[in-house]
Amino acid sequence: MPAPISDAALVHIVDAALADSARRSGRLLACKAGCHQCCIGVFAISQLDALRLRTALSQLAITDPARAAAIRTRVAASLSHIAAGFPGDHATGLLPEFSEPSAAADRFDAAFDDYANDEVCPVLDPATGTCELYAARPIPCRTFGPPMRNAEGGLAVCELCYHGATPAQIAACEMLPDPDALEDQLIEQLPGSHAQTIIAYALRGC
């Protein structure tokens, strides 16, 4: 199924927030094409992100079959590396959901923090260091780099950025990617589980 039509609105809002933060950051934000440290290591994505990626790969298979086939080959190779330690359901590719803090949730968090940290994203073109599905990339990819509030309320930034900046300068560049929680509203519209997944499993079999 295609992504909900309002997914385009979410992407526009997030990209506009990124552009605004980048404008305020200037040289302090070092992100550029070919810089792909953030593409190394597995991270969770929503079902909305997964749907956007699958749609884009299906479209790429029509416009550039060779590139799409290369992505599928890398997806299969990545899964062969990381499936054994996957801390979720291998059959579905979904990560467990926890509605409340618990010992099980803590164990999962610890396992996921240590999981596949050296695995390169299969959507990354190894020749150019750029994303093959850039226009459809997940929200975490769109928001990584500029200062954003973490779960503890502090501002987190990419370690390659904001060198020499004072805390006040970093705070002045804070990115507010989705102030109206549109992403959560869109996820609610999707059928099935709200559980997260990872990019390799999202594109498995596509």
What type of residue is 13? Answer: I
What does the pLDDT look like over 77-119, one tens digit per residue?
Answer: 999 999 999 999 999 999 999 988 899 999 999 999 999 999 9
CB pairs under 8 A, 24+ apart, for 162-170?
Answer: 162/25, 162/28, 162/29, 163/28, 163/30, 164/28, 165/28, 169/28, 170/28
- For the chain, what are the domain ranges? 7-24+32-202
Determine the Cα–Cα distance for residues 196 and 44; give it in Å rounded to an integer. 6
pTM of the predicted structure, to 2 decimals:
0.92
42 close to 87: Cβ distance less than 8 angstroms? no
What is the torsion angle, in degrees rounded to the nearest 10, for the CA atoms of residue 49, residue 55, residue 60 and residue 66?
A: 80
Confidence tier at 5 by pLDDT (50, 70, 90): low
**What's the chain's average pLDDT?**
93
**Phi, psi (rounded to 5 degrees) for 70:** -65, -40
Residues paired with 40 in a beta bridge: 120
Task: Assess whether pLDDT exceeds 80 at residue 52.
Answer: yes
Helix, strand or coil, per DSSP, at residue 138? coil
φ/ψ bin of 167: left (φ > 0), alpha (ψ from -120 to 50), beta (otherwise): alpha
Cβ-proximal residues to 142 (8 Å cutoff; 6+ apart), any chain = 11, 14, 15, 18, 177
**47-63 vs 182-189: helix crossing angle, rounded to 10:** 80
What does the pLDDT look like over 141-166, one tens digit per residue?
Answer: 999 999 999 878 889 999 999 999 99
**47-63 vs 7-25: helix crossing angle, rounded to 10:** 100
Determine the Cα–Cα distance for residues 172 and 37; give it in Å rounded to an integer. 24
